[in-house]
Amino acid sequence: MAEIIDGKKVSDEIRAEIKLKVAELKEKYNSVPGLAVVIAGNDPASEVYVKMKEKGCDETGINSFKYVLPDNVSKDELLSLIDKLNSDSKVNGILVQLPLPKHIKEDDIIGAIIPEKDVDGFHPINTGKMVADQECFLPCTPNGIQELINRYVKNLKGKHLVVVGRSNIVGKPVANMMLQKNKRADCIVTVCHTSAPDISVYTKQADILVVAAGRANTVTGNMVKDGVVVIDVGVNRINNPHDSTKTKVTGDVDFESVAKKASAITPVPGGVGPMTIAMLLSNTLKAFELQNM
Ligand code: GUN
């Protein structure tokens, strides 16, 4: 049976380190990092994520400033809020929760955040630097995935890492980051996605498999080789098979069958999710340091 990759435990360790550093900043400079969190509309999943981000700030001593906007907010209103936050010295990081209401082009809003405050690592300047392996804000979920892989897999050099999914938030950045010629990466990377006639052709070759497909049961035990390390990025709400009145959260991987063959696997919940928040807090601390020191 596979070792469980405990994202909650690793994220707690990282959050404890951040809390200490924030307390030191408060002591030394009488000032702490600040994160602005903007949410537009009432997507229930986004509301849950934003609450978790605020809680993460509270627990580490980071100031959070929440802006809740209605579903019919105009692009200009959103842009003027971003402008205000860009020039507010108490705000070191700006996070606009995605998805935005359909009438607003996300790229227009993300592009308006100054790259120095783009703690999500979504601005094209940060994306470009990430691809070129330059110092930048790395996107939080891929950064958390890389951290977990590095803590649980020794000697990544030449390992075959297969990514299922090609989103801008996970698939593409993970592939780029794990391909880099540095000690935290140096993998041979394959990206596959829903246009493949049979993704198992690729998943079977993986030493490390990152699944970010957005669909439950995308990868089952017969699609992986023995000893694979599996990172499940999926968050899917499905009917609870044991109680039809309830739902439960599951990943993109069929945990039961894959865990029988894997050497290590992330659970859902408790795997990648907590790491995303830890990396957001870490980026906010980094933004404060870059802006003040
Ligand atoms: N929606 C889903 N994941 C994310 C994320 O990492 N950041 C933001 N801003 N929105 C998201």
pLDDT in tens, 147-201: 999 999 999 999 999 999 999 999 999 999 999 999 999 999 999 999 999 999 9
Is 107 an active-site residue? no
Point out which residues pair with 211 in neighbouring strands: 164, 232
Among 56-65, 233-242, 276-285, the least confident range: 233-242
**Which of 39, 119, 120 for mutating ligand 1's site (highest number of atoms within 8 Å of CB)?**
120
Distance between CA 18 and CA 187 in Å, rounded? 29
The two structure tokens encoding residue 189:
């990377």
Q: How many residues make up the chain in this entry?
A: 293
Ligand 1 mean position to 98 CA, how many Å? 5
Ligand 1 mean position to 82 CA, how many Å? 17
Which residues form the pocket of ligand 1, taking CB atoms under 6 Å from any ligand atom?
95-98, 120, 140-141, 169, 276
E strand or H helix at 63: strand 63-69
If pLDDT is split at 50, 70 and 90, which confidence band does 242 have? confident
Distance between CA 285 and CA 21 in Å, rounded? 8
Is 97 an active-site residue? yes
Distance between CA 205 and CA 203 in Å, rounded? 5
Catalytic residue among 118, 120, 207, 232: 120
Does position 57 have pLDDT exceeding 90, yes or no?
Answer: yes
Does position 240 have pLDDT exceeding 90, yes or no?
Answer: no
Does position 1 have pLDDT exceeding 90, yes or no?
Answer: no
**Residue spans of alpha helices (H) in the chain:** 7-29, 44-60, 75-86, 106-110, 124-131, 140-152, 171-179, 200-203, 255-259, 272-292
- What's the burial of 256, exposed, middle or buried (CB within 10 Å: 0-12/13-18/19+)? exposed
Q: Record the pTM.
A: 0.97
More confident of the two residues 21 and 293: 21
**Predicted pLDDT of residue 241:** 82
Distance between CA 266 and CA 258 in Å, rounded? 11
Ligand 1 mean position to 97 CA, how many Å? 5
Instruction: Tell me the pairing of strands 34-40 and 63-69.
Output: parallel
Q: Ligand 1: which residue has its CA nearest to atom 9?
A: 97
Return mean pLDDT, the chain: 97
Q: What is the Cα Rg of the chain in Å?
A: 19
